[in-house]
Structure 1
Amino acid sequence: MASHTPPRIFDPHRRMAVRRRMLRTQKMLDAPRYLLDDMIEDVLERLAFLRHQPERALVIGDVGGVLGGRLESGGTQVTSVEPGHGFDEEAPLPDNDLGLVVSLGTLDTVNDLPGALVHMRSALSIGGLMIASFPGAGSLPALRSAMLVADGERPAPRIHPLVDVRAGAQLVQRTGFADPVADSRHLDVGFRSFARAIEDLRAQGHTNVLAERGAPLGRAARALAEQAYRAAAVDGRTVERFEILTLSGWRR
């Protein structure tokens, strides 16, 4: 009999540690959070456009509680959960009567993405909506190029494989959602240095959690990466692109 166990691409323990570090960093007033803020703004715009005002919602990865607060101000009863605190998206969700389930920046690092989507659908009541946003294919092109330069002829696994729009659309449809939608938008951010780019990624919980990771960059390799990143700069800043993939669907 064929095994249905998903491949182990990401290390769950490393993932939790990265998110816990991010949660501590996000308590600082000057912590970067532009990726999460962009996702939250997009979710709110979608809900307003759809005129969807659920009675009960589950929000995953809402660091700081901004989205939950906005939903609660509209009368929604919100439960917020966080992978860094042990919430497991690859297990059945603790409810099955929700009008809305939202995941913010977390599903790109689960090993069983189809399973996570199935669990989200199962948690919805009839007429409920799922929205999931996370970095998708095409993100971090400058960093990827710099890593290839640093590693030379033996590229190491350093940056995550990412889902593109087509694969995302197929996943939402295959996991049983009605009116499935997958779309992508980009967010461009300029960095003055390689180090600042890594610092921002670390502060937002988007660093390497691969199960099979490459060895840390040595001093010489890091210098090559910094040089390549700097060479891509225009007017002193290297523009990095984040492609934000959003998946959505209904339970009918």
Structure 2
Amino acid sequence: MTDPSPAASGPPQIFDARRRAARLARSARRFREADFLHRRAAENAAGSLEAILRDFPVAVDLSAQPGVFSEAVAASDAAGRIGPVSTPTSLDQRAAPGAAALPLDPGSTDLIVSLLSLHWANDLPGALAQIRRALKPDGLFIGTLFGAGTLKELRGVLTEAELAERGGAQARVSPFADGFDGAALLQRAGFALPVSDVDRFTVRYPDLAALVRDLRAMGETNVLAGPIRPLSRAVLGRAAALYAERHAEADGRIPATFEIVHLAGWKPHESQQKPLPRGSAKMRLADALGVKEQTGD
């Protein structure tokens, strides 16, 4: 039997890491103009830590856009229990979670947070497994990533507009994970007591151009692997018209759906309670962590 090639045995390359790093670098100057999704995720993470009455002396932030979590924790009741939050990853590592080994010793960290970054991982279970290895026994991971319902309106109108103008369409919006798979992903990566919840809400924009400006400022535009054919003015114009026709509200503004999947899991330790039998859970993540669920509208 011949050995499989590295390409055959490795994870599929869905995203282009260099393209993602370039998008992040370009977004740095304007990120604070459109950081509301990251702030929402960070405030939820800080609220979760407020309900967990223990200390986390060694804390690490692996978020693509670092700093927002530290600010949220500093303003929360958990501030005195969280040690200085470090960001040990380079831009390239933040752009491609899991692609290279984390610069963290195994079993060295009490708390690891990753906000709105892991949806760009080519090997999401592998990235989560790296995080678990870096945690101390009974250490905590809190993460968020965009879920499958994110930008569903934009995905639809871009595809239809490109088909109409060019007779064929490329994928323009990333394939996001299903929020209902969150706990299973954590379990597969070796976390104990995994929990997952979905925060689904709508942001309203004056037009498609305003939505695209925010996505660029966040560093969340297309980084799918392979050649990307630029969108023409004709395609963008048709997409904007379709968006307004299909989705505009009474005041003319257009809605953009976002879905943030919240994850939490612990590095296994003998002191932890045993998980309930599969299918017997009776509590949502928001209730388990003692925070108010944010559903948006």
Normalised by the length of structure 1, the TM-score is 0.91
Output aligned runs, 1:96-111, within 5 Å: 96=106, 97-111=108-122
Of 66, 83, 86, 1:79 maps to 86
**Per-residue CA shift, 1:169-196, capped at 9, x if unaligned?**
2211111000011211113110111110
**Per-residue CA shift, 1:66-91, capped at 9, x if unaligned?**
32245464251321245536445313
Q: Which runs of 5+ in 1 are unaligned?
A: none
Cα offset for 1:51? 2.5
Q: 1:89 matched to which residue of 2?
A: 97
**Per-residue CA shift, 1:183-238, capped at 9, x if unaligned?**
11113110111110000011011110100354111121111001011222111211
Structure 1 stretch displaced more, 50-59 or 200-209:
50-59
Of 24, 45, 48, 1:46 maps to 48
Matched, 1:224 2:235: no
Structure 1 stretch displaced more, 94-103 or 5-14:
94-103
Identify, as 1 or 2, the structure richer in strand. 1
Q: Which runs of 5+ in 2 are unaligned?
A: 269-297
Bigger Rg, which one: 2
Output aligned runs, 1:118-197, within 5 Å: 118-152=129-163, 153-197=167-211
Q: 2:248 matched to which residue of 1?
A: 233
Distance in 1 of aligned mates of 2:168 and 2:17: 26
Q: 2:28 matched to which residue of 1?
A: 23
Shift in CA distance, 45/71, structure 1 to aligned 2, threshold 3 Å: closer
Q: 2:260 matched to which residue of 1?
A: 244
Matched, 1:37 2:39: yes
Shift in CA distance, 106/81, structure 1 to aligned 2, threshold 3 Å: farther
Shift in CA distance, 199/166, structure 1 to aligned 2, threshold 3 Å: same
Shift in CA distance, 59/224, structure 1 to aligned 2, threshold 3 Å: same
Q: 1:57 matched to which residue of 2?
A: 59
Cα offset for 1:145? 1.7
2:97–2:120 Cα contact (<8 Å) kept:
no
Cα offset for 1:159? 0.8
Q: How many residues are matched? A: 249
Q: Could you tell me the percent identity over the aligned residues? A: 35
2:17–2:92 Cα contact (<8 Å) kept:
no
- Aligned to 2:9, what secondary structure does the other structure show? coil
Normalised by the length of structure 2, the TM-score is 0.78
- Aligned to 1:217, what secondary structure does the other structure show? coil
Q: CA RMSD in A?
A: 1.9
- Aligned AA (2:256): E
